[in-house]
Amino acid sequence: MIAGSKQTRMLNELLQACRTNLPSVNEDAMQKAFKLSMEAHKNHRRDSGEPYFYHPYAVAMIVVKEIALDDISVISALLHDVVEDTDFSLKFIEKEFGTEVAEIVDGVTKISGVFKGHEISQAENYRKMLLSMVKDLRVILVKFADRMHNMRTLEFVRADKQRRIAKETLEIYAPFANRFGLGRVKWELEDLSFKYLNKEAYNEIAKKLQDKRKEREQYIAKFIAPLAEKLDKHGLEYNIAGRAKHIYSIYKKMIKLNTSFDKIFDLLAVRIILEGNDANECFYVLGVINQIYKPIPDRFKDYISIPKKNNYQSIHNTVIGQQGKLVEVQIRTRKMHEIAEKGVAAHWRYKENFQKNDKELEEWVNWIRDVFENANKNEATKEIMASFKLNLYQDEIYVFTPKGDLKRLPAGSTPVDFAFDIHTNVGYHCIGAKVNGKIVPLSTMLHSGDQVEIITSKNQHPNKNWQQFVVTHKAKAQVRKHLNREEERLVEAGREIWERKLKKYKLSFNHDDVQRLLNKLKFDNPAQFFKNISQDKLNVDDILNPPEVEAKEEDNEMEFTTFADIARTNIGGVEIDGDYKGFEVNYAKCCSPIPGDPIIGYVTIGEGIKIHRKDCKNLIRMSENGSERLVRAGWPKRKDSLFVAGIKIRGEDTPGLLKEISNSITNFQNTNIKAINITASDSMFDGTVTVFVKDIAHLGQLIERLKKNKKIYSVERFDSETA
């Protein structure tokens, strides 16, 4: 725990820094955020052993001193780890500090989660993904500050983690900071990353720079003296000083030129900052310098007339100083310097390859430039922070495979789109999906940063419902292709059934006969007719020989062979209306009615009265040619009767699941199980359970109990109609 006196000192230092660097400060909200963050992290420690609160406090100080955003950003920095690491919720943060702070905290939390366990292979895609994940610009900038402090304290984590974080920083955050115009942040992130990725080279260059530091400082003082004298005479207000080259930039130049440290000639650098905002003064100073020292024409760069893509502006001029040494001189105004060092997101262009014909983006950038040219600091900061939203990459999302590979998909994509993007066969056999470890419907809309795992089954194929939610061209085309093939297969199968039946009854149908039959049955074409036959929606026997052919009830996959005997034993007789009382009663295996089901009797030839559910497809088909055979029937009022019912289950195949299913059933009203049949394939299982139930309500309660098991995807009543 941090001592009270130290807490007070830290808070005062933060508030003073805010007063100095920010246009306005809500000190009450700042103090409340300070105290909440300290309380939330009071039991946490960093790898260094110091209280965890030192980290969000340091991030807040970086935001206020080195990036200088606004008080909302500083408050968000204090709270950026609270939701992820403690019991405080995002709703609580929003209630206490407002929507803006909650959005920034949420954005920083999401970005932090993206890189956990993922290998960096497509750095530019990761940078675009970061943009697509946030709405508020300040999310990215607070994350830069968070990464800066983590890099400054990286020595306290284990070596493998050091390398992973350093690589991530060098490939993702440093280039990203450069595109925001955060020059100081970029250089420090690069040097710190280099320190852990190539410690030997880093230490060697750092030592050589240190060894020559005094010599370098003495030389710079001599170089500056005549310049300062001339500038003073011209009455310019300026600041001039030597600037040390960054270690990583020296290393890159050594690699690029394939040379050694001693042969890098431009290690000496001087920066002149003019306090006025007149860019013409920079060119005036350039003329003064070139009168004193001889310039090298091919090393001259004018970034004032033609700014960099991140709107960095400065003149770079290399001259030959005393003793023939090369010295790079940078000339810029104070405003240019602040933009170069701290970055101004308004001057950052959002596309790597900016197109001049992108009118909307060009106009947007010009508006931002106009804000900074014509508004004072307070007005500009207030307007920019209120207006800035990042929407450029909202039409794309970036999601991961379980192995960490990154996939780019259109916004609105679903797990099925993701599956087809991986491979056509994965899409074809996609039966389920896990997003961030949780099973979700296949129609779920994915978001940037999601990790998606596809569950496949050899028995699964695309269905027409997929057409309603897939968005990628590949997914749409493949689903349509499969459905067309399936349609052709069904038509051909129906045609074969029709031709076999014609042979059986020794009948011959010409084209006109078939057309008359289609008109009678109200089908538009033969393909539709044959498809209905193959799908068992039409009984060819009833069509070709209705008076003599009795509809055959299909055998059930489940073992309902003794259902009628069990039912007759326990039912005590179904109540039959009219003249059919006393007839032998049997229970149809095709729909397996149980008490609570609406039922009706059908008078058969030689088998008495068959009891069907009223919605039984076989019954509906038979009644079309013999409605006079239907008789009213009802269930007797007895509480001790038991009936056989079937339950169909599908889910994830895991150890012990069969036991869980059995326990769920038998522990409810002492329900007895008649049979269980489970088949597993590709981490999925399909199963049927035959149980003894009192009535339909009993069966419904069993189904609801089974649905509560997260490893079971679907539970439904089973009979031959759903087989």
Question: pLDDT, tens digit, for every residue of 609-649?
Answer: 888 888 888 888 887 766 778 888 887 766 566 777 888 99
Q: Is residue 392 pLDDT above 60, yes or no? A: no
Structural domain including 224 reads 207-347
Band of residue 390 on the pLDDT scale cut at 50, 70, 90: very low
pLDDT-derived band of residue 573, with 50, 70 and 90 as boundaries?
low
Listed ranges 91-95, 571-575, 660-664; the one with the highest mean pLDDT: 91-95
- Asked if the structure places residue 370 within a domain, the reply is no
| Residue 374 maps to a domain | no
| Six-digit token string for 167 | 């690589």
Q: Count CB atoms within 10 A of the CB of residue 292.
A: 13
Q: Helix or strand or coil: residue 220?
A: helix
Better pLDDT: 385 or 62? 62
Let me know if residue 383 belongs to a domain: no
Residue pair 240/271 in contact by the 8 Å Cβ criterion = yes
377 belongs to a structural domain:
no
Residue 589: the pLDDT is: 78
DSSP 169: I
**The pLDDT of residue 310:** 61
**Structural domain contains residue 202:** no
Same domain, 616 and 656: no
Q: Give the span between the Cα atoms of 263 and 200, in whole angstroms.
A: 19
* Nearest by Cα to 196 from 243, 126, 254, 247: 247
DSSP per-residue codes, 679-701: EEETTEEEEEEEEEESSHHHHHH
Report the alpha-carbon distance of residue 203 to residue 680 in Å, rounded. 59
Q: How far apart are CA 134 and CA 127, in angstroms?
A: 12
384 or 173, higher pLDDT: 173
Give the model's pLDDT for residue 508: 72
Q: So what's the pLDDT on residue 393?
A: 43
Residue entry with tokens 């596309």: 351
Tell me the C-alpha distance between 358 and 391, whole Å: 15
Residue 198 near residue 243 (C-beta atoms within 8 A): no
Range with top average pLDDT, 186-200, 204-218, 516-530, 541-555:
186-200
Structure tokens that stand for 615 in this block: 């919605």
Same domain, 338 and 462: no
What backbone torsions phi and psi does residue 616 show, to the nearest 5 degrees?
-65, 130
Chain centre to alpha carbon of residue 106: 14
> How far is CA 186 from its chain centroid?
27
> Which of 27, 84, 358, 695 is flagged as catalytic?
84
H or E stretch covering 396: strand 396-400
User: 493-499: which pairs have CB atoms within 8 A and are 24 or more residues apart?
Assistant: 493/530, 493/534, 494/529, 494/530, 494/531, 494/532, 494/533, 494/534, 494/535, 495/530, 497/533, 497/534, 497/540, 498/530, 498/533, 498/540
CB contact at 8 A, 430 and 412:
no
Least confident of 52-56, 150-154, 503-507, 699-703: 503-507
* 413 pLDDT tier (thresholds 50, 70, 90): very high
At residue 644, φ and ψ (nearest 5 deg) are -85, 135
Query: Are both 174 and 215 inside the same structural domain?
Result: no
Query: pLDDT at position 59, please?
Result: 95
Note whether 410 and 472 are within 8 A (CB).
yes
Three-state SS at 126:
helix
Name which of 420, 470, 411, 686 is nearest 557 in CA terms.
Answer: 686
Give pLDDT, residue 562: 42
Strand partners of residue 331: 272, 315
Residues 538 and 568 in one domain: no
User: Long-range contacts for 598-606 (Cβ within 8 Å, ≥24 apart)?
Assistant: 599/574, 599/633, 599/634, 599/635, 600/630, 600/631, 600/632, 600/633, 601/574, 601/576, 601/630, 601/631, 601/632, 601/633, 602/629, 602/630, 602/631, 603/629, 603/630, 603/631, 604/550, 604/629, 605/550
Cα separation, 638 vs 595, in Å, equals 10
Residue 368 covered by a domain: no
Length of the chain: 723
Catalytic-residue membership of 217: no
pLDDT at 628: 76
How far, in Å, CA of 641 to CA of 654, rounded? 35
For the chain, give percent helix, strand, coil, nearest 5. 50, 15, 30
Q: Is the pLDDT score of 569 beyond 50?
A: no
Residues 57-74: what's their mean pLDDT?
Answer: 88
Sign of CA dihedral 259, 265, 266, 267: positive
* Across 189-207, average pLDDT: 92
In the predicted structure, residue 384 carries a pLDDT above the cut 60: no
**Dist. CA 607–CA 603, nearest whole Å:** 8
Give pLDDT, residue 570.
Answer: 42
Residue after which a domain boundary falls, among 510, 544, 578: 544
Residues 130 and 113 in one domain: yes
Exposed, middle or buried by CB within 10 Å (0-12, 13-18, 19+), for 551?
buried
At 264, the amino acid letter reads I
Q: Are 601 and 632 in contact (CB under 8 A)?
A: yes
Q: Give the bridge partners for 646, in sequence order.
A: 690, 718
Q: Are strands 585-587 and 609-613 parallel, antiparallel or unpaired?
A: parallel
676 within 8 A of 661, measured Cβ to Cβ = yes
Provide the domain count of the chain: 6
CA pseudo-torsion sign 544, 550, 551, 556:
negative
Higher pLDDT, 219 or 394: 219
Domain boundary among 634, 666, 692: 634
Q: Would you place residue 239 in the very low, low, confident or very high pLDDT band (cuts 50, 70, 90)?
A: very high
pLDDT for residue 722: 38
User: What order do you get walking across the sheet with 438-440 strand by strand?
Assistant: 438-440, 430-435, 452-456
542 is catalytic: no
Q: Is the pLDDT of residue 418 over 80?
A: yes
Task: State whether 455 and 485 are in the same domain.
Answer: no
Domain annotation covers residue 551: no
- In this model, does residue 4 exceed pLDDT 70? yes
pTM of this structure: 0.54
| 57 and 163 together in one domain | yes
Please say if the pLDDT value at position 679 is more than 60: yes
Residue type, 9: R
Residue 121: per-residue pLDDT: 54
Per residue in 109-122, pLDDT tens?
A: 877 666 555 555 55
Decide if pLDDT at 565 tops 50: no
95 and 243, same domain (yes or no): no
Note whether 322 and 300 are same-domain residues: yes
pLDDT(291) > 70: yes
Q: Name the pairing type of β-strands 406-410 and 396-400.
A: antiparallel
Same domain, 536 and 587: no
**Across 244-256, average pLDDT:** 85
Percent of the chain with pLDDT over 70: 80
Chosen domain end from 440, 471, 502: 471
- Which CATH number characterizes residue 420's domain? 3.10.20.30
Sheet holding 712-718, edge to edge: 673-681, 684-693, 643-652, 712-718
Q: Is the pLDDT of residue 32 over 60?
A: yes
Q: Which amino acid makes up residue 577?
A: D
Q: Residue type at 339? A: I
Is the CB of residue 142 less than 8 Å from the CB of residue 76? yes
Same domain assignment for residues 496 and 599: no
> Which tens digits make up the pLDDT trace of 262-275?
777 667 789 999 99
Give the max Cα distance, the chain: 127
Give a yes or no: residue 381 inside a domain.
Answer: no
Whether residues 53 and 95 fall in one domain: yes
C-alpha distances in Å from residue 340, one per residue of 87, 109, 337, 345? 40, 28, 5, 11
**Structure confidence at residue 26 (pLDDT):** 93
